[in-house]
Amino acid sequence: MPDSLHLADAFGRRFPYLRLSVTDLCNFRCSYCLPDGYQGKSCDSYLSREEIGRLVRAFVELGVHKIRLTGGEPTIRPDFLELAKDISSIAGVRKLAFTTNGYKLADKAQSYYDSGLRHINISIDSLRPEQFEKITGHDRLADILEGLDVCLKTGFNSVKINTVLLKNLNDQELDSFIAFVSDKAVSLRFIELMRTGQNQDYFQAHHLPGTAVTERLLQLGWQLKPREGDSGPALEFIHKHSLGSIGLIAPYSKDFCKSCNRLRVSARGALHLCLFGEGGFSLRPWLEHDEQREALKDQILRLVNFKKSGHFLHDGNTGATPHLASIGG
C-alpha cells in the first residue's frame, strides 16, 4: 500500500485525510452557518457515485487512507448509503467517517454502520433544548441524544461530538458538557467559531477563543493527550475519572495550520487546499472515465503544491468561503 509520503506539500505537510462533501444541501439552519436555511434548489450537478469512486481511488493511490463524508448534511443525499458502501469497499480506505447533524440518527445508525461507516461525528451545540433550538433552528435535541446512545451501542469505532463554542450562547455549558461525557465513550470537540463570508456580525458577537476551554479543563485536572503520528490540529484532553475525552479545534491558535493533514473536495468536484482559500480547482475533467486515473493523480499532485502555509483568518480574510456548508467544514 502506498503511504502518505506521496501526497505532501511544499511545507512538508502530508495528507492522509480527505474530507469529501457529497452535497451542500442542509436541512438545519444553524445560526453560524445557514441561518436562513439552504438557499437554492437541490442540484443535479453533484459528483455521481461513479465520479466519487474514481476520485477516492486516485486519492487512495496517493496515500490517503481516511475519508470523511460531509456536506451540507451528507445523510440527506438519497444515495448516501450506497455511496458509503462503494467507498468502504475500496481497498486502502482504512477509516470511513462522516459528520452529521444527527437527523433521524436513532433509526438510521445501524444502516450507516452496515454500509461500512465506522466513525461518526455528531454536531450538538447545546444540551439545553431551548438553546439547541435557538442555535440550530430545530427542536430535535432529544432525538439526537437518543441517536447518540444508539450509536454507542451499534459498535462504531469512534463516536465524536462537535460543539461550536459560542459566546453567550453555550459557553456557560462547559461544565455540563464535561459532565455529559464522563460516563460515555465519546470524544467531544469544541470548535472555535470560524469567520466566514456570511457570518461577520455573528462572529463579532459570539466568537470566543478556545483558551477559555483549555483553561477550565486544566483547572479541573484534565491533561493534554500526547499527539499521535497522523493526527490533525485538534488537541485532546483526558481525565482519569472521565470515560469520554474533550478536544479542542482552535483554528485561530498559533501554528494551527502547521499540523494540517487534510484536503477537501466539494460536492461538485473542486479540490480545496484550505477551508479559507480563494476557491477550488475543478477535478471534474479528470473524473469522466476510469482510464484518466494517472492524469487525475498527476493533477492532484500538481495542485497540492499551491497549498499555502496557513490561512489569513487573523487578518479577517475568509477567502472565498461564504459558509462552511459550501465546502463541508
**Binding site residues, ligand SAM, CB under 6 A:** 26, 32-33, 70-71, 73, 99-101, 123, 162, 164, 191, 193-194, 196, 199, 324-325, 328-329
Q: Which is nearer to ligand SAM, 184 or 293 (CB)?
A: 184
**Shortest approach of ligand SAM to residue 1 CB, angstroms?**
29
Q: Which is nearer to ligand SAM, 140 or 297 (CB)?
A: 140
- Rounded to whole angstroms, how far apart are CA atoms 98 and 94? 13
Provide the b/e sequence for 84-98 (b: ≥16 CB within 10 Å).
bbbbeeeeebebbbb
**Shortest approach of ligand SAM to residue 325 CB, angstroms?**
5
Q: Which is nearer to ligand SAM, 196 or 214 (CB)?
A: 196
Whether the CB-CB separation of 88 and 96 falls below 8 Å is answered with: yes
Q: Which is nearer to ligand SAM, 246 or 325 (CB)?
A: 325
Which residue, 267, 260, 273, 164, is CA-closest to 213? 164
Q: Helices 211-219 & 174-181, crossing angle to 10 degrees?
A: 60
- Rounded to whole angstroms, how far apart are CA atoms 102 and 93? 24
Cβ-proximal residue to ligand SAM, closest one: 329
Q: How many CB atoms lie within 10 A of CB 47?
A: 24
**Shortest approach of ligand SAM to residue 102 CB, angstroms?**
8
Q: Please report the DSSP string for 129-176 in residue order.
A: HHHHHHHHS---HHHHHHHHHHHHHHT-SEEEEEEEE-TTTTGGGHHH
Task: Please give the angle made by the CA atoms of 196, 101 and 169, to the nearest 5 degrees.
Answer: 60
**Shortest approach of ligand SAM to residue 194 CB, angstroms?**
4
Q: Which is nearer to ligand SAM, 77 or 297 (CB)?
A: 77
Strand 95-100 to 119-123 pairing: parallel
- Bridge partners, 235 (sequence order): 248
**Shortest approach of ligand SAM to residue 294 CB, angstroms?**
32
**Shortest approach of ligand SAM to residue 109 CB, angstroms?**
15
Q: Which is nearer to ligand SAM, 296 or 327 (CB)?
A: 327
Say how many CA atoms lie within 13 Å of 123 toward its Cβ. Answer: 25
Q: Which is nearer to ligand SAM, 60 or 69 (CB)?
A: 69
**Shortest approach of ligand SAM to residue 146 CB, angstroms?**
17
Is 18 in a helix, a strand, or coil?
strand
